[in-house]
Structure 1
Amino acid sequence: MKNDLAVLKQIAHGLAQQFGETCEVVIHDVRTPEMEGTVVCIENGKVSNRKLGDGPSHVVLEALKNGGKDVADRYGYLTRTKDGRVFRSSTMYMRDENGDIMYVFGINSDITNLMHLQQIVNQVADNAGVPNLTHDTKASAGAERITTSVADLLDDLIEQAVQQVGKPAQLMNKAERIEALKFLNDSGAFLISKAADKIGEYFGISRFTLYSDLNMIKDKEKEQ
């Protein structure tokens, strides 16, 4: 088992060489304490502006939720960066002999320029009266965002929770706040070290109220 990471690094290097500088290959070690510095290998890191020692992305949280038993490899889905670039991504979960996830192996191909080219082709086709071949360029709006640190990941999850409710935290009633907290709990946000402090501060509630809300969420789930 001790040579597994070395083999994965060799494969990562080979893939990066094969597909060129627009293809990033990254390996996260999900056993890293408190999820700090999960990136243990990265090829063509300039694609997402990440480097060795950077923090986790959403796929790492997925690997940790429920011991990783609920996750399966994913291929060819869309992700995006904070600055709006779009990737076609694949994620594979590397497990030990007990089925526990050790590493997350990710491939991200930057397709931003291809999408821009597609938009130009569609515009030309529209002007010429030719039906567009595809209208999925807006699909990137809902793409999962690639994050570079624990703090960045938690901020992203909080933003998603607020978007789901549809109003700022300070305007939420209790039911809406609980809906947002449920989203965060389901997303694995509370697996992040000291997440409770930041989430409580963001929603303007005490630690006691926060855990009371979380207990209410868990009780409702047991009833269902």
Structure 2
Amino acid sequence: MLTDDKLKFLSQIGKALAQQFGNNCEVVIHKIDPEDMNHSIVMIENGHVSSRQLGDGPSQVVLESLKKDPNRLENHINYLTRTHDGRVLKSSTLYLKDEQGNLEAIFAINYDVSNLIVAENVLKSLTKTEDTGKSANPEVIPNDVNELLDDLIQESVRLVGKPVALMNKDDKVKSIQFLNEKGAFLITKSGDKISKFFNISKYTLYSYIDLKK
């Protein structure tokens, strides 16, 4: 469990990093409490970067971490994410564990590199003679848990490759088990929204979760 002393220490580090690298550097601490993941953010600096604030909910990375064996969690350093308004962030995620090896907090750094990418593209346009670039598809950082749930549902639909109206049972099972693996059902009242979206009962929903792949 994340103690007040640990949170204070981590918050000091987070504040120092945010001040060191300026307003484009967001630092977030998520407290891991499976009983209340709707309000996981217990510290945030420069929250304007992702439009989040103290008391907001988790990102997809946080939810996924709860579905994994803590012993297999490895720090994820230097990868791309993006905000819903299209800004690109350079991110790092650190998994913090207690003495028993249980995940107790996630320390995340998100640096807005959008302006740097614009400058880079301008320079490339002056030096390149042939466009060989490839588009990236970074993970979206949601503003709240409802937005995160909507994103996950749409991702499950893209996974199947057809709209809900055309899905058969196997398609829906695939989508729902994907959502379970991503931690969607850790969000409060997510079962109601997901069962309504897929036009099935909650009993059917949970039976699909339990089906073996």
| TM-score, normalised via structure 2 length | 0.92
Of 160, 169, 189 in structure 1, the residue corresponding to residue 184 of structure 2 is 189
SS at match of 1:34: coil
Contiguous gaps of at least 5 residues in structure 1: none
For residues 117-158 of structure 1, the C-alpha deviation after alignment (integer angstroms, 9 at most, x for no partner) is: 2222222234xx3x56x724x11xx21111132211111110
* Partner AA of 2:181 in structure 1: D
Matched-pair contact (CA < 8 Å) for 1:67–1:100: no
Q: Tell me the distance in 2 between the aligned counterparts of 1:214 and 1:173.
A: 15
- The alpha carbon displacement at 1:67 in A equals 5.2
Corresponding position of 1:163: 158
For residues 20-69 of structure 1, the C-alpha deviation after alignment (integer angstroms, 9 at most, x for no partner) is: 11110011111273212211111111111111111111122123114534
Of 98, 118, 121 in structure 2, the residue corresponding to residue 119 of structure 1 is 121
Corresponding position of 1:95: 97
* Partner AA of 1:178 in structure 2: V
Identity %: 47
SS at match of 1:93: strand
Q: Tell me the distance in 1 between the aligned counterparts of 2:125 and 2:139.
A: 27
* Partner AA of 2:140 in structure 1: R
Further displaced range: 24-33 or 36-45: 24-33
Of 75, 100, 125 in structure 2, the residue corresponding to residue 73 of structure 1 is 75
Matched-pair contact (CA < 8 Å) for 2:64–2:181: no
Matched-pair contact (CA < 8 Å) for 1:57–1:147: yes
Of 165, 171, 180 in structure 1, the residue corresponding to residue 175 of structure 2 is 180
Aligned residues: 211
Matched-pair contact (CA < 8 Å) for 2:30–2:106: yes
Runs of at least 4 residues off by over 3 Å: 66-70
2:86 is equivalent to residue 84 of structure 1: yes
Corresponding position of 2:15: 13
| RMSD between superposed Cα atoms in Å | 1.7
Of 179, 194, 204 in structure 2, the residue corresponding to residue 209 of structure 1 is 204
